[in-house]
Amino acid sequence: MLDALRQDVFEANVELVRRGLVIASFGNASGVARDEGLVVIKPSGVSYADLRPENLVVTDLDGRTVEGDFRPSSDLPAHLVLYRAFPSIGGVAHTHSSFATSWAQARREIPCLGTTHADYFRGPVPVTDAMTPAEIRSDYERNTGEVIVRRFSDLDPSAVPAVLVAGHAPFCWGASVGDAVHVAVILEEIARIAYQTVVLNPEILPLATDLGDKHFLRKHGPGAYYGQK
């Protein structure tokens, strides 16, 4: 199980680079083995060009290193908060992709303007509150996760599997680390389309809820009928 998860997390991190969602050592992906209580994550600051499956770090859900010679990603505490708060998720991907990060820096949610967005997110992609000076000074990375969880106090993380951390960048998640990376790819595309849409028509209104729900629910949930069984 752990060897398979290690390989999945390695391939997910490589896919972030291949898709152009990270440069240098920005960004990371992790996966969780819930039965074992273990997390596999990219090591801190290691270039993607030098990354190997054996470089990945295994920790427990309290952040203690179980396997690995490197320090885990500095974002590990945020990932751990998400794993504890959202028990249905199996992977997290954090990027600084251009368009999604632009919305995060602008401190604007990504509105649902069309069915491309609605196919993957039921409603806008939310943005968190800005972190307080106290949150930044103390346990910054853990508090990054906490500010995300607070934003989802009235949202379903399975219906909106991504968030923009104000002034920072996006975090995405899914049932597996591969799914989390797929969400990150889709998020960047809908962020780009939304940006172009509001440039072309600054007065554009959000997509009608009925139409948005139709597109989301035909792909997700017990009544989904899109694709093959």
Q: How far apart are CA 116 and CA 112, in angstroms?
A: 9
119, 120, 129, 179: the active-site residue: 119
| 119 flagged as catalytic | yes
Q: 228 to each of 65, 118, 217, 219, 224, how far by Cα in Å?
A: 41, 20, 15, 11, 10
Q: CA dist 29 to 4, 23, 63, 69, 196, Å?
A: 15, 14, 15, 18, 28
Single-letter residue type at 180 = A
Amino acid at the residue 74: S
Please provide residue 58's backbone torsions phi and psi, each rounded to the nearest 5 degrees: -110, 125
- 69 labelled catalytic: no
Question: Which of these is catalytic: 129, 139, 140, 226?
Answer: 226
Cα–Cα distance for residue pair 82/85, rounded to 1 Å: 5
Catalytic residues: 119, 226
